[in-house]
Amino acid sequence: MAQLLHLGLSFPAQPQQISASSSKTLKLVKSTHGSKISVSTIRKGSANGLPKTQKLNLEVSPHRAVSAVRLMRIEFGGAFAGLLNEKGKGSGKNEMAYVERTLGFRTRELNDQDLRLVTDIVGGTIRWKRYLDHLISSISHDKDISSMEPLLLQILRVGFYEIVKLDMPHYAVVDENVRLAKVALRPGAGNMVNGILRKLAVLKENESLPLPKVEGDDRVQARALATLHSHPVWMVRRWTRYLGQEEAIKLMIWNNSEPSFSLRANHARGFSGADLVTQLNALKVPHKPSPHLDEFVRVKTGLQTVIQAGLLRKGLCSVQDESAGLVVSVADPHPGEVIVDCCAAPGGKTLYMASFLCGQGMVYAVDVNRGRLRILKEAAKTHQVDGVITTIHADLRELPDSKPLKCNKVLLDAPCSGLGVLSKRADLRWNRKLEDMEELKKLQDELLDAASKLVNPGGVLIYSTCSIDPEENDERVDAFLARHPDFHIDAVDRFVPPDFVTDRGFYFSNPVKHSLDGSFAARLVRGS
């Protein structure tokens, strides 16, 4: 599977969970800032034998405290913005442990409304980070806000996002974020937040936010557009060059919109798209059937309801974009076939291909990451396709020499920039750099060469990415064909709707045109 190379730091070690059964009754006391604080006393088994305190602040806004801490974890700890467990909480039972370790206190547990706000604020703040930082810098008259205290900066970003993008009542936003800054940092930080947010509220009300104008030469315009639409400058310049400025702006607007998701019904368990619709109706989750694939249903909201209902846990369905499903359509798996999935983990396409084998044949799932392969194996059991999936832990580039494995169908869903999935991966735009593109193209060429050795004469190699960049897509295919003249292009028009077929016979989903993730696939047939 196309693995997005995450360039963040490692996760910090998880803090120890505090057991409610081992703590004495909470007792209310007063903090120096006037906030109500609850303190639990001794926690059994503490390493040094001293009491373990747990402070509970009942006046700080829970969703703002959690949002600020999650933003800290994403920016400095390498966490993913969309990290969710089955209950929809970013760290499960450890959510408040992260808050306590970062802020020095806990808040009350998040309710469903809090969770929705956290998801919205964290995702939105990351998407609009460049735009928000421009406003913070302009209003605070601090040209280098990177030197600002990290927690203070996150609190300001949250407040700016709430006022500018969520249109929350400014008096509530100011009051709550000031209180958070005072308790988590110090009174002076709260005073600073108060002054900056109040000035922002006045500027917004007067429609006079300090924003750049799109004028001047190409470089100056690219910088202005990068600020207005909150993307790295190099992406704006690249898309303007390939797409033109108007289409580049449309793409950035799509990337900044609230992402929608698709659910794939698992027909390997006898669960059809119609069955999935019935379940969604019962759960009162708004949905729309896919116009392209019978097993897929689109949902804009209510994903957490689906998760909590256990449909994913039971393997009845999975979250998978239609663009990925259409790549499987290009692979066209049939019962009895042997298929090699070269970069398989975490296995979305592997599972979908295996469901078409109807218990006959095999998908060899190859991946360099042993942990992700374990996840794939467990998912295969849940989806009841483990009988037709064999996992192989190996670097594909070394596999052809170390483990002879040839077949008539090979899928290489290559590691890529992920520029087609930026609406869902809000943090990826800030982790990806221009220099990464050259490294990725080199890796894609090496993986294509290795994958080609697994293809029997007359067999097919499917090369796919979740990128919209021609240098990762068409150009990689051209470079491969120049090195391997025994392969030729097989048009995909027999496998996907014509609207997804390019002039050269490749599959391509355009986020703006198709309202799906951007993806690409080419069928390359080896001569007999």
Active site residues: 466
Sequence-ordered list of residues with C-beta below 8 angstroms from that of 485, at least 6 positions apart, any chain? none
Got the DSSP string for 112-170? HHHHHHHHHHHHHHHHTHHHHHHHHHHHHT-S-GGGS-HHHHHHHHHHHHHHHTS---H
Cα–Cα distance measured from residue 401 to residue 317, given in angstroms and rounded to the nearest whole number: 37
Cα–Cα distance measured from residue 34 to residue 32, given in angstroms and rounded to the nearest whole number: 6
Got the DSSP string for 245-269? HHHHHHHHHHHHSPP-EEEEE-GGG
Instruction: Classify residue 488 by its DSSP letter.
Output: E
Cα–Cα distance measured from residue 24 to residue 52, given in angstroms and rounded to the nearest whole number: 11
Q: Which two tokens stand for residue 284?
A: 């009162």
Q: Is 354 annotated as a binding residue?
A: no
Paired strand residues for 55: 39
Q: Is 413 annotated as a binding residue?
A: yes
Helix (H) or strand (E) holding 411: strand 407-413
Burial 253-274 (b: 16+ CB within 10 A, else e): ebbbeebbbbbbbbbbbebebe
Identify the CA nearest to 418 among candidates 496, 340, 355, 472.
472
The answer to whether the Cα torsion of 146, 152, 158, 163 is positive or negative is negative
Sequence-ordered list of residues with C-beta below 8 angstroms from that of 146, at least 6 positions apart, any chain? none
Burial 397-434 (b: 16+ CB within 10 A, else e): eebbeeeebebebbbbbbbbbbbbbbbbbbbbbbbbee
Got the DSSP string for 312-343? TTTTSEEE--HHHHHHHHHH---TT-EEEETT
Q: Is 348 annotated as a binding residue?
A: yes
Q: Is 349 annotated as a binding residue?
A: yes
Q: Is 358 annotated as a binding residue?
A: no
Q: Which two tokens stand for residue 341?
A: 């999935």
Cβ-contact 312, 336 below 8 angstroms: no
C-alpha distances (whole Å) from 21 to each of 25, 40, 55 are 10, 11, 16
The answer to whether the Cα torsion of 79, 105, 17, 94 is positive or negative is negative
Cβ-contact 352, 370 below 8 angstroms: no
Q: Which two tokens stand for residue 191?
A: 């005073």
Q: Is 321 annotated as a binding residue?
A: no
Q: Is 201 annotated as a binding residue?
A: no
Q: Is 344 annotated as a binding residue?
A: yes
Q: Is 517 annotated as a binding residue?
A: no
H/E/C letters for each residue in 34-84? CCEEEEECCCCCCCCCCCCCEEEECCCCHHHHHHHHHHHHHHHHCCCCCCC
∠ CA 215-219-224 to the nearest 5 degrees?
A: 50
Q: Which residues are annotated as a binding site for S-adenosyl-L-methionine?
A: 343-349, 367, 395, 413
Q: Which residues are annotated as a binding site?
A: 343-349, 367, 395, 413
